[in-house]
């Protein structure tokens, strides 16, 4: 078949903050594909920024729970039935059924992008009936997709053993910087012209991220903390800060657009990347914030799970902690704040790592997947 190939991607978020999907859609658009990204519109959604691909947000009456997933899947199914595409890519299990059904009806190619191990995230694990439903969804649809990929080698290996199907790895890394250089950060805060030190956590304020322990640890740390993002624990964490009297030390930035977040990250002193062992999804995760800190030359305190351990053994860009306990977190942060030699070495190592792990490298692998798909 000739002509421009049309690819449609489906997510359940509102598109504005999904850096991985923005990179994927931009890369495929530049490669000559006709690309559309479909998500949902929420009451607090900001206007969509112009992109080289089409964007569509579906409005739902329900915004969480079982009713949301049912409604969104119905709306997505109807939308896809009237859309034109040669390939459809489902992002995680929550959009996989409409993609599979309409893809089969239209004779389109099917792609599955697992951003996480959906049936092993904390919100699903703790509800056994819900987990069984998603496990059934996974078993029903995933084996029948033409191409599959995920975010880490650990998750790829798990999926391959489960489905006897090859999973490619497309890491969620930033674009390469032209001339990456460490920001002039003064650990003491008294160096003229240097930004005041602060600790940064970026990402969802959800359970299993060690955030409650991080906030508790801030009682012993003489450096402010900024939290960029929102989530299921937003209200609870704000209350914890009030209870501990840490309002002057901890700031909630709320949702931050990617371009603005990049500037904030570049000014940070220490990045925080903590997840608890609450399921295989988190245990084998490889989050974008890990790479965002690296590309900003920001040393980080990171959980010592297998994927992070492998990369840190090679590049030495982070202090790894065994768990998300308050003593582990506070000890690691204070060491980075006090050990200027170690801090400077981590900054230099970040430069090396960012030259080797960036979207220019991952883009080549991504394009190869879609070239195979349309052969």
List of domains in the chain? 6-173+359-373 (3.40.50.2000), 199-356 (3.40.50.2000)
Q: Torsion-angle region of residue 342: left (phi > 0), alpha (psi -120 to 50) or beta? A: alpha
Could you tell me the pLDDT band of residue 184, with boundaries at 50, 70 and 90? Answer: very low
Which tokens hold the place of 338? 């006090």
CB 151 within 8 Å of CB 169:
yes
CB 172 within 8 Å of CB 287:
yes
110 has pLDDT over 70: yes
- Average pLDDT (9-32) is 95
What's the pLDDT at 121? Answer: 86
pLDDT tens for each residue of 324-373 = 999 999 999 999 999 999 999 999 999 999 999 999 999 999 999 999 99
Query: What are the angstrom distances between the C-alpha of 60 and each of 35, 67, 80?
Result: 23, 10, 16
Portion of the chain with pLDDT greater than 90, in percent = 85
Name which residue leads in pLDDT, 190 or 174: 174
CA distance 51 to 29: 10
Name which residue leads in pLDDT, 177 or 255: 255
- Average pLDDT (19-34) is 97
- Average pLDDT (248-270) is 94
pLDDT tens for each residue of 57-74 = 999 999 888 999 999 999
185 has pLDDT over 90: no
**Averaged pLDDT of the chain:** 93
Count helices and strands in the chain by DSSP H and E runs: 15, 13
SS3 229: strand
| Nearest of 57, 58, 54, 56 to residue 26 by alpha carbon | 54
Helix or strand (DSSP H, E) at 238:
helix 234-244
- Average pLDDT (29-43) is 96
Which tokens hold the place of 198? 């602060």
| Nearest of 79, 119, 115 to residue 98 by alpha carbon | 79
For helices 326-338 and 340-356, give the axis angle rounded to 10 degrees: 100
What's the pLDDT at 207? Answer: 86
What's the pLDDT at 60? Answer: 94
109 has pLDDT over 70: yes
Residue 202: CB atoms within 10 A of its CB come to 23
What's the pLDDT at 180? Answer: 46
CA distance 72 to 132: 20
- Average pLDDT (176-189) is 57
What's the pLDDT at 63? Answer: 86
104 has pLDDT over 50: yes
- Average pLDDT (242-255) is 96
pLDDT tens for each residue of 303-337 = 999 999 999 999 999 999 999 999 999 999 999 99
Could you tell me the pLDDT band of residue 190, with boundaries at 50, 70 and 90? Answer: low
Portion of the chain with pLDDT greater than 70, in percent = 95
- Average pLDDT (278-301) is 94
315-327 per-residue burial string, b: 16 or more CB within 10 A, e: under 16: bbbbbbbeebebe
- pTM assigned to the model: 0.88
Which tokens hold the place of 329? 């977190």
Strands (E), the chain: 6-10, 34-41, 54-59, 87-91, 109-114, 147-150, 168-169, 199-202, 225-228, 250-254, 270-273, 300-303, 318-321
CA distance 272 to 201: 5
What's the pLDDT at 347? Answer: 97
pLDDT tens for each residue of 70-93 = 999 999 999 999 999 999 999 999
What's the pLDDT at 193? Answer: 55
What's the pLDDT at 189? Answer: 52
């Amino acid at each position: 078949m000739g002509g421009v190939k049309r690819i449609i991607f489906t997510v359940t978020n509102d598109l504005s903050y999904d850096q991985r999907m923005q990179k994927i859609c931009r890369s495929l658009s530049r490669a000559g594909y006709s690309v559309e990204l479909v998500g949902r519109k929420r009451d607090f959604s900001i206007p969509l920024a112009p992109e080289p691909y089409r964007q569509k947000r579906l409005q739902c009456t329900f915004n969480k729970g079982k009713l949301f997933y049912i409604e969104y899947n119905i709306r997505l199914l109807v939308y896809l039935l009237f859309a034109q595409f040669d390939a459809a890519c489902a992002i995680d299990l929550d959009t996989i059924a409409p993609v599979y059904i309409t893809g089969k009806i239209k004779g389109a190619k099917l792609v599955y992008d697992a951003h996480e191990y959906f049936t092993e995230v904390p919100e699903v694990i703790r509800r056994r009936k819900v987990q069984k439903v998603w496990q059934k969804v996974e078993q029903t649809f995933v084996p029948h997709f033409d191409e599959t990929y995920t975010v880490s080698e650990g998750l790829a290996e798990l999926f391959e053993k489960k489905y006897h199907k090859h999973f490619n790895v497309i890491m969620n890394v930033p674009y390469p910087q032209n001339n990456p250089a460490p920001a002039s950060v003064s650990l003491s805060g008294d160096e003229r012209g240097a930004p005041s030190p602060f600790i940064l956590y970026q990402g969802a304020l959800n359970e299993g991220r060690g955030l409650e322990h991080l906030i508790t640890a801030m009682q012993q740390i003489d450096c402010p903390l900024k939290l960029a993002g929102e989530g299921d624990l937003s209200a609870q964490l704000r209350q914890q800060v009030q209870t501990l009297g840490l309002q002057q030390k901890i700031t909630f930035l709320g949702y931050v657009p990617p371009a603005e977040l990049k500037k904030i990250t570049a000014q940070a002193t220490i990045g925080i990347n903590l997840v608890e062992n609450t399921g295989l999804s988190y245990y084998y995760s490889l989050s974008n914030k890990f790479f965002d800190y690296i590309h900003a030359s920001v040393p980080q305190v990171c959980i010592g799970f297998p994927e992070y351990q492998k990369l840190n053994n090679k590049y030495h860009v982070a202090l790894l902690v065994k768990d998300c306990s308050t003593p582990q977190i506070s000890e690691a942060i204070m060491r980075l704040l006090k050990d200027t030699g170690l801090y400077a070495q981590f900054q230099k190592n970040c430069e090396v790592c960012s030259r080797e792990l960036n979207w220019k490298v991952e883009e080549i692998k991504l394009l190869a997947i879609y070239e195979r798909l349309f052969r």
